[in-house]
Amino acid sequence: MSTPEETPPQERIGLHNLKPAKGSRKPRKRVGRGHGSGMGKTSGRGHKGAGSRAGAKERARFEGGQMPIHMRMRKLRGPNMKKSMPFEPFRTHTQPVNLATLEERFEVGEEVTPDSLRAKGLAKKRDIPVKILARGELTKALTVSAHGFSATARERIEAVGGTCQTLED
């Protein structure tokens, strides 16, 4: 048995009766209006220091007074040293594969491509170009397709009867 006081009839929502949620709106803080307001004298800013001054605000890089990271980091300039540009925007990346590994993993006459290298556990990254380097000896004639070759690697592959094909990507 319910009484009408427990469940009031629901009024339709419209522009005439919209209200903000309870507790979501507060009156603004009126500072500097006497001690009785709780925000008199220093108006909640404390005594002295940067925070009490006009125009004081937290900067984006402010770290509470400790030395900020942009001042702690080294400031070496120029692209000629690896440590001088920590983010390396102009460095080109390649996946190196040496002749010694081709000798171990491929048979005579086989075709070496980025896909076959990936299948054999070499040059696993799909988006990064593959470069063949000359470390080790090659005794098998292979058809090697890669994005780049060192001059010595190209000579050694062609010396044993293999071919080098440069891929364009």
* Residue 116 confidence class, pLDDT cut points 50, 70, 90: very high
For the chain, which residues make up each domain, given as ranges? 95-166
pLDDT classification of 103: cutoffs 50, 70, 90: very high
- Encoding tokens for residue 124? 């696993």
Select from 167, 163, 99, 161 the least CA-distant residue to 132.
99
- Which of 71, 96, 102, 75 is closest to 86 using CA atoms? 75
Q: How far apart are CA 41 and CA 101, in angstroms?
A: 78
The better pLDDT of the pair 161, 56 is held by 161
Report the C-alpha gap between 99 and 160 in whole angstroms. Answer: 12
Closest CA to 123 of 98, 88, 143: 98
**90 pLDDT above the threshold of 70:** no
> How many residues can be counted in the chain?
169
The tokens for 146 are 């890669």
- Contact in structure between 126 and 118 (CB atoms under 8 Å): yes
pTM of the model: 0.49
Determine the pLDDT at residue 2.
55
Say if residue 141's pLDDT is above 80: yes
Q: Which fold has domain 95-166?
A: Ribosomal Protein L15; Chain: K; domain 2 (3.100.10)
What mean pLDDT is predicted for residues 25-44? 92
